[in-house]
Homo-oligomer: A and B are copies of this chain.
Amino acid sequence: MGGVVQTDARGRKTVLDACTEPCAIEKGMRMIGGKWKGSILWHLQDEPVRFNDLTRLLGGASKKMVDQRLKELESEGMVLRKVINDRPVAVTYELTDFGRTALDILDSLREWSETYIE
């Protein structure tokens, strides 16, 4: 955070260093930000949801997008994919314990958004 601030003889400040690594905010945004990731986590909070249901819940996301985001979330360990039936094929997605740790943030965001946006 922040960087080193130098003040010269005339009281002018200069920032010498910066966060060269992406700071925590950016890293966090890459995990749960992006176009659909937060919403997906949010919609999984109560119970496992099937792929097509999730797509509908997101209202307007293409299967491709949902699929991609789910795979990301799965590889990040936030979401768990379960095949619950073979014939016909049925799959659900649910939050892992780690995935649940993000819910507080998402809920703050939701509340903030509902309060201030529009």
Contact = CB atoms under 8 A, between A and B. Distances in A.
A42 B25 contact: yes
B3 A25 contact: no
Given A28-B109, A38-B25, A15 B56 contact: yes
Contacts of A27: 113, 117-118
A15 B24 CA distance: 37
Given A43-B1, A108-B108, A25 B59 contact: no
Interface of A: 1-3, 13-15, 18-29, 31-36, 38-39, 42-43, 46, 53, 56-60, 98, 101-102, 104-106, 108-110, 112-114, 116-118
For the complex of A and B, the 9 pairs showing the least CB-CB separation, nearest first, are A28-B113, A24-B113, A33-B33, A18-B59, A28-B109, A24-B110, A15-B53, A18-B56, A25-B38
